[in-house]
A and B are shown apart, each in its own frame.
Chain A
């Protein structure tokens, strides 16, 4: 459980990027939490605060009942619990060969070699990148690099996984794979916090949402609740997911994902035929 109590953060004095944010992450049935907000709304800053790389100028962040302590050892423990994958893959891959980079964090933890090998093998398989194992990083596509970056954090087996804009710059296939991957991870009990302004992607994947605008949480809730107010989303420089538009403009029921919509329509067509 991660709890923010009245957290504010400012890079420059009197120009706060985060303003009095209070929220709880990791309630029941909230395996994937989405932070939605336009560019510059403070999503990345919030993430950096969550892993102790930035320290709130006001308020505190409580992880599993304990406020974050900013000593090196405490921070290392925090980062074993909360892993973060940044937006730009090139800036977080340091080794020239895929499997060396994935093992990097484990070497830093001084784990025995057999365990490192085992974890790396497992994660390569999980992310379906076994074929890339010995490839040099500079020959990978953007989507492949993204998965290598995620693998480098997944090996830590942290309870929480923070993904900052995981679909930025990915092609439709890359996005689809990201969606599948996150679903699979969540099914295995991984708790994920994801930030993005890709509305359809977020609508499909997240269980709970926080809308961040200008450093403040302007709305939070489940997918049935947060996307209905079109004007609010527009004020936040966001848009409604297409499934919500269908619901409001065409008076269709509100489906949780496109699969549900297609299945419902198909059974309706079949039902129509049999009449």
Chain B
């Protein structure tokens, strides 16, 4: 079970209009991608502080959520700042390699750091939005933006089934761990391959059951998503 989702339903500003929250998020995005760096830094601190305040989440747990994006962020920054060059002068900490030099590019380093700040600001703002807005409100927002029904439908179904997928994954993983499936690298790889296979099988079985259930509910190819009634009042 994803705990992260619970905060969206129990925070201090859960009853704010989703449009206001959407606007705040948009404003944050503009700040995150405008050129003035110190504004971005302020945004990160302010939004992180506000998120912790309104959701009453502990700082440790909040920081933990960034572990998810950290690998991606680090990989892209590393890809940007490390480079090969023909002369020493273009690099910090040059290392001689195959007749050329390998190191951190003097031109790309500031750009890489800027990108890191930018991404962090955007992620902090998005976390703020995701952690304060219940899913039904997000749907209301998408509907009132007149997005195509296909996108809304997809969003809705993903949100519904991601939890079933995670639950299934955890159940299988736990059962394997209990029977020492993850003792060493060899068994880990073996167990993981079985896990993936089982997930596929589950998908096939569930697909059939869901087709029957869709038939029983007279499904005709469209999942209608409308504004919730409370949003209409």
A residues at B contact (CB < 8 Å): 48, 51, 53, 75-76, 79-80, 83-86, 88, 90-97, 99-100, 104-105, 107-109, 117, 134, 136-139, 152-153, 156
Task: Give the residues in chain A near B87, CB-CB below 8 Å.
Answer: none
Bound Cα distance from A140 to B1, whole angstroms = 12
Asked if B214 and A97 make an inter-chain contact with CB atoms under 8 angstroms apart, the answer reads no
Besides the known contacts A79-B216, A109-B218, 5 further A-B residue pairs in the complex with CB atoms under 8 A apart: A93-B160, A96-B136, A97-B135, A97-B139, A156-B218
- Contact status A91-B157, CB under 8 Å: no
Q: Give B216's nearest chain A residue, CB to CB.
A: A84
Picked from B136, B215, B217, the residue with its CB within 8 Å of the CB of A53 is: B215
The interface centre, meaning the residue of B160, B214, B219 with most chain A CB atoms within 10 A of its CB, is B160
Cβ contacts A to B, 13 pairs, < 8 Å: A53-B212, A88-B209, A95-B156, A95-B223, A97-B139, A100-B156, A108-B217, A108-B218, A108-B219, A108-B220, A136-B135, A152-B217, A153-B216
Contacts A138-B1, A138-B163 given: A94-B214 contact, CB under 8 Å? Answer: yes
Q: Closest A-chain residue to B157, C-beta based? A: A94
Instruction: Given A97-B136, A105-B218, decide whether A86 and B212 contact each other with a Cβ distance below 8 A.
Output: yes
Interface mask (B195-233 → A, CB under 8 Å = 1, otherwise 0): 000000000001001101111111110111100111000
Instruction: Please report the C-alpha to C-alpha distance between residue A91 and residue B229 in the assembled complex, in whole angstroms.
Output: 26
Residue B159 interfacial (CB < 8 Å): yes
Residue on B with the closest CB to A120? B229
Query: A104-B223, A136-B135 known; A91 and B216 CB under 8 Å?
Result: no
CB-based contact B218/A96 at 8 Å: no
Contacts of A76 in B (CB 8 A): 218
Do the beta carbons of A107 and B224 come within 8 Å of each other? yes
Given contacts A86-B209, A134-B136, contact A96 B156 (CB under 8 A): yes
In the complex, per-residue mask of B112-149: 1 if CB is within 8 Å of any chain A CB, else 0:
00000000000000000000001110010000000000
Distance from A133 Cβ to chain B, minimum over Cβ atoms (Å): 9
Residues in A neighbouring B209, C-beta threshold 8 A:
86, 88, 91-92
| B218 x A90 contact (CB < 8 A) | no
Q: Chain B: how many interface residues by the 8 Å CB criterion?
A: 33
- Is residue B164 within 8 Å, beta carbon to beta carbon, of the partner chain? yes
A93: chain B residues within 8 A (beta carbon): 160
Separation of A107 and B164 alpha carbons in the complex (Å): 24
The binding surface of chain B is classed by DSSP as helix
Q: How distant is the Cα of A153 from the Cα of B225 in the complex, in angstroms?
A: 18
Cβ–Cβ contact A94 & B224, under 8 A: no
Question: What 7 pairs between A and B have smallest CB-CB spacing?
Answer: A92-B213, A105-B217, A138-B163, A91-B209, A107-B224, A108-B218, A96-B160
Residue on B nearest A104 in the bound complex, by CB? B217
CB-CB under 8 A from B222, the residues of chain A are 108
The answer to whether B229 touches A117, judged by C-beta atoms less than 8 angstroms apart, is yes
Contacts of B164 in A (CB 8 A): 90, 138
- Residue from A91, A95, A134 within 8 A of B213 (CB atoms): A91
Bound complex: CA A41 to CA B214 (Å): 25
> How far does the Cβ of A144 sit from chain B's closest Cβ, in whole Å?
15
Which of A51, A76, A94 has the most C-beta atoms of chain B within 10 angstroms of its own C-beta?
A94
Among candidates B159, B163, B215, residue contacting A79 with C-beta atoms closer than 8 Å:
B215
Docked-complex contact B135 and A96, CB < 8 angstroms? yes
Cβ < 8 Å to A, chain B residues 149-188: 156-157, 159-160, 163-164
Chain A minimum-CB-distance residue to B1:
A138
Q: How far does the Cβ of B170 sit from chain A's closest Cβ, in whole Å?
A: 13
> Which residue of the partner chain A has the closest CB to B164?
A90
Residues of B with C-beta under 8 A to A48: 212
Nearest-Cβ distance from residue A162 to partner chain B, whole angstroms:
9
Residues of B within 8 A of A95 (CB): 156, 160, 223
Does A79 lie within 8 Å of B212, measured CB to CB? Answer: no
Measured CB to CB, the closest approach of chain A to B139, in angstroms, equals 8
Interface centre among B134, B215, B217 (most CB of A within 10 A): B217
Alpha-carbon gap, A83 to B217, bound state (A): 8
Q: Are the CB atoms of A91 and B217 closer together than 8 Å?
A: no
CB neighbors of A among B1-59 (8 A) = 1, 5-6, 9
Q: How far is the CB of A71 from chain B (nearest CB, A)?
A: 13
